[in-house]
Amino acid sequence: MSKIQTQEKLDKKEILKLFKSGCKPVEQHRIGLEYERLPIFSVTSKAADYSSEFGVCNFLRDFAKEENWDYITDDYNIIGLKQGHDTITLEPGCQIELSIKPEFLIEVLESKIDELNRQMKPVLNKSGISLLNYGVSPLSTHKSIHLIPKKRYHIMAKYLWGILSDVMMRETAGIQCCIDFESEEDAMKKFRIANKLVPFMTAMFANSPIRGGVETGYKSFRALSWLNTDNDRCGFVGQIDDRFSFEEYIDYVLDSPMIFINRESGAIPLNGKINFAEFLEKGFEDFDADIEDFKLHANLYFPEVRLRNFIEIRNHDCVGKGLQYSILAIYKGILYNHGAMEEIDEIFKPFEYRDFSELRYNVPKSALNARIGKFFVKDIAKEILYTAEKSLIEMDTGEEKYLDAIKEYTLNGVTPADIIIRNWNGVWNKDIKKLIKFLNE
């Protein structure tokens, strides 16, 4: 039987164009935010479901009607909303994600988020739903959280083999920062530094110690879940060294097993039978690879830092109280200033790849009290903050103010999780309602 050709046979040169298309002049560099939160029913503190009368689907339907947003659907099921370049979408367990068009200034993103929150609040209140700035479901576990009716998520859930992949998909919420680059060289320098920063940032913003109504022993249970999701597509890409290139990143993506492809007839599960390099060379059954297959496959690749026609930095617990903007401020201060990147390189000079790799495994439990080499993470985190602050002051945009929220924690050697644990075992007396009240403040 002859192969079904959707278009001319795909090759690596065409894939490479996707990444090179992201190169843009420095004056066009913006910063982007993807902001997930956990919807819970205010009365019970349990995770809000998708399909009940007061569930998340009806919230989306009511909000779209009130504020004139368009539906995003999957087989006629509402899985999100869009208005211009902004989207409100659902993650697998009904987590609500705001994805805002990138902007030059953090304060513009903040004002957009504030306005969206203001618009959503009365509709959420009508459904009795609260959105928590927290990294993992505080009371409900994945066993009682059903996947939303999005075909992709059901295929992923069956495929992902890690022992905590269901926790990652159904229970967790995070914040992602998106950064632009000027050239391939600039992209790879930012990519390398961002990867080295991630374990420290995961530690600084750890915010998921209570799960299923109990203390887990981890300060970021969300980060732990990612360590146990699928090692074929998670973690660091390569050895995070100086010799990396777009093509080498593509090779790592090509070498990862494929989960499924989309065709007019619907999703076709591959379940890891081949990797994308094999698909590119030989096809699969009656299908040859096209560029849309690669885009889908690359989107199902989940490293700490993901390369597209921008850089997506992924592994931060959801946080609130202004901390969400501290994340953006740190990355902007460091990655949009060559001098700051050199300073960070100097700070990281004593450490090798294995040190960062080990740290990634130690941070979920110990956060700022983890060690890298002879040093405590909390001491290096202070240097990272200092470098970011100095850079932002040089930029003269006033954005150093966004570091104030995290400075209150990091300069005192604590994380949001530490404050929660202290209260949980103290004045809250392990009362989940008091944790929820704190997260809603």
Residue 340 — very low, low, confident or very high, per pLDDT cuts 50/70/90? very high
Residue 242 — very low, low, confident or very high, per pLDDT cuts 50/70/90? confident
Closest CA to 307 of 246, 227, 256, 242: 246
Between these two residues, 308 and 7, which has the higher pLDDT value?
A: 308
- Give the Cα separation of 256 and 279 in Å (integer): 11
* Nearest-10 crossing angle of helices 106-127, 56-67: 120
What single-letter amino acid sits at 31?
A: I
Pairing assessment for the beta strands 302-303 and 234-235 based on DSSP bridges: parallel
- Among residues of the chain, what percentage have pLDDT more than 70? 98
Residue 2 — very low, low, confident or very high, per pLDDT cuts 50/70/90? very low
Residue 8 — very low, low, confident or very high, per pLDDT cuts 50/70/90? low
Report the sign of the C-alpha dihedral through residues 69, 75, 76, 78, in that order. Answer: negative
- The pLDDT, as a whole number, for residue 162 is 96
Tokens 């090692």, residue located: 231
Q: Taking residues 262-273, what's their average pLDDT?
A: 91
- The pLDDT, as a whole number, for residue 213 is 97
DSSP-assigned letter for residue 163: T
- The pLDDT, as a whole number, for residue 239 is 86
> Using DSSP, how many helices (H) and how many strands (E) does the chain show?
17, 17
Tokens, residue 183: 């050239």
- Domain 30-253+305-440 part of CATH 3.30.590.20: yes
Q: For all residues of the chain together, what is the average pLDDT?
A: 96
Residue 5 — very low, low, confident or very high, per pLDDT cuts 50/70/90? very low
Residue 252 — very low, low, confident or very high, per pLDDT cuts 50/70/90? very high
- Among residues of the chain, what percentage have pLDDT more than 90? 95
Q: Taking residues 311-330, what's their average pLDDT?
A: 97
- Give the Cα separation of 251 and 240 in Å (integer): 14
Query: Do 108 and 184 touch, CB atoms closer than 8 A?
Result: no
What pTM, to 2 d.p., does this model score?
A: 0.96
Residue 4 — very low, low, confident or very high, per pLDDT cuts 50/70/90? very low
DSSP-assigned letter for residue 105: S
Report the sign of the C-alpha dihedral through residues 187, 192, 195, 200, in that order. Answer: negative
Residue 122 has a CB neighbour count (10 Å cut-off) of 11
- The pLDDT, as a whole number, for residue 390 is 98
- Give the Cα separation of 27 and 221 in Å (integer): 38
- Give the Cα separation of 164 and 56 in Å (integer): 24
Closest CA to 147 of 129, 160, 133, 128: 160
Contacting residues for 37 by C-beta, under 8 A, at least 6 apart: 95, 96, 97, 131, 132, 133, 134, 173, 318
Contacting residues for 262 by C-beta, under 8 A, at least 6 apart: 268, 292, 293, 296
